[in-house]
Structure formats: C-alpha cells, structure tokens
Amino acid sequence: MDLADPSSVRNLIRHTKPHWIINAGAYTAVDKAESEPDLAYRINTEAPEAIGIEAKALGASVIHFSTDYVFGGQGSTPYVETDPTGPLGVYGASKLAGEHALLSGGATAFIFRTSWVYGATGKNFLRTILKLAREREELRVVSDQHGAPTWSRDLARLAAHVIGHPELHDSQLTGVYHASGAGETTWAGFAEEAVHQASQREPGVRFATITGIPTSEYPTPAARPPNSRLNCSKLGTTFGWKMMEWQESCRQVMAKF
C-alpha cells in the first residue's frame, strides 16, 4: 500500500481482511520532515487513522510503532507513558498525532514507542559508524543526547509475542507502551561500544577513535530531544516482556555482519 495515500490503505485492508495489522512503516526522515510536513503527516498521521477505522470495522487488532520523539527531552529520568508530550519538530508531532488518530478509531491497538532503532541490514547508525570507523582516524559523535539503541528484531519478536498470546488480545489493554532497548547510553557511547566490539572481533584492524561532542557542534534542521530515555516497566507488567539489553543486542547484530 502507499502510506501517503489513505485510500490505498483503506482499499488494501478491505481486500485482505486481516486479523492483525502491524504498522512498522513511517516517514522517518527527521530533518527532511521540516520541509515536507504535508507528506510526513499523510504517512505518520492519516495512514494510522485509516488503519484504525478499517481495523475497527473488521474487528482486527493493530500493532503500531511510534517514537521517543513525541517528547521534548526535558529532565534526566526515563519517560513513562503518561508523561506530558512535547515534540520538538514535525516528525515527532506527526507521530504523536498518529497515535491519537489511530486510537480515535476505536480498534484494539497496541502502540509501542521505541527509540534509536537499528539492525544488521539497511541504513542505520550502527552500520554507518562501523563503515566510517574503518575509513577515518577519528569520529566526532554527539555525547549529550541520552537514550537506548533498539534492535529491530527485538521489536519484531515483541510483536510476535503479543500476537501469539490470545489472552493479551484485550481491548482494555489498548493504548501506548514504551519499548526501547534496556539500559541507556549516548550516541557517542553507542559508537564506542560498536567500535570496541568490532576491535575484539577483528584485532588486526585499526578503527577510529570516538570523540564525544555537544549537540551544538552538530547542528541539524530538526532539534533532537536530549533525553530519550523510556521507562519500559509497563511493557513487562502488561505483556510479560523485557526488551534486550542494548549492549547484548549490539553484539548479536554485529555477529550477523
């Protein structure tokens, strides 16, 4: 389906009549969203709204992924689901609006807010850092934004866990849950861990030194929340699920390279 076209979303759902809809698609170009707000809102808000309406009509359930960027990043403690939101840019605002739009449809829906998603394939921070670390002597990486890297496969396993346990398919459980990697670090800390693990795997290779820098030295069109920590305890009490420690997920991902 074309997530930028709500009619495309509606037509496919009506044709396939699914029991479950998992929406892992989004407009995620955080900086570009500042100059393409209409497209970002169509994909991140109008598509989830259409999904929610069609799911309700079919009696289907929805798993939808959202983001830590719905918060403004104040403070230094992990956010819980009921904390006030305050996105800093179009991307976060469109994702927050998408949460509300999905839930307004009345379908049974589980929204998992996550952060810093990466994996063994595709374009992501880990793969970029390891490539650059082989090419340069020093990498300057932001060290004052705090959060947790999250393995995409861990999120997929969470979705499969929820779908595979019928006792969890309760409309009363509809709502928002935080689901990011366990523990916390900074982007520089993530890069340091990646380079450390790569050095252990390839002792004969010289990798770049990681130097932490403040966000002010790496300006971007869209502001980033300095605090992206998410409290995931609700995920455990409701679904009996604990997200993987970010260092361990990093090790497992790198084993797949």
Burial class (CB within 10 angstroms; exposed 0-12, middle 13-18, buried 19+) of 106:
middle
Is 91 an annotated catalytic residue?
Answer: yes
- Residue among 88, 74, 153 at smallest CA distance from 117: 153
Give the other-Cβ count within 10 Å of 202's Cβ. Answer: 11
Tokens of 107: 């379908």
Q: Which is catalytic among the residues 27, 41, 69, 91?
A: 91
Q: Which conformational region is residue 137 in: left (phi greater than 0), alpha (psi within -120 to 50 degrees), or beta?
A: alpha
240/146 Cα distance (integer angstroms): 26
User: Which three-class secondary structure state does DSSP give residue 127?
Assistant: helix
* Residues 6+ positions from 97 with CB-CB distance below 8 Å: 41, 44, 45
User: d(Cα 32, Cα 39) in Å, to the nearest integer?
Assistant: 10
HSE (CB half, 13 Å, CA atoms) of 54?
A: 22
* Cα–Cα–Cα angle for 163, 166, 167, rounded to 5 degrees: 125
Residues taking part in catalysis: 91
